[in-house]
Amino acid sequence: MNDLAERSGFLVLYPEQPFSANILRCWNWFLPKDQDRSGEAKLITDMANSVVEAYNITPSKVFIGGLSAGAAMSVIVAVGSFSFVLF
């Protein structure tokens, strides 16, 4: 992904889950507290919004994706009406 981003001129954000939040370092997409604007979905949104602001990125050019627990969390962020996710 890094090579593709560099060649194509886009940024990639890799949010990581700390061991203290999940022993497997997976996103806790299955916990109700992490499915709203006060949980992990908000943390990911805040990270992305920080990058959008720091690099003056057009919000409609921001996309989210993931694998496994990251894929589940990306759906929660995308359907959670967070401002930066536009498809």
Report the distance separating Cα 85 and Cα 1, nearest Å.
20
Active site residue 38: no
Pick the catalytic residue: 60, 68, 74, 83? 68
Torsion 60-44-37-77 (CA) sign = positive
The residue written with tokens 């050019």 in the block is 61
Q: So which residues are the catalytic ones?
A: 68
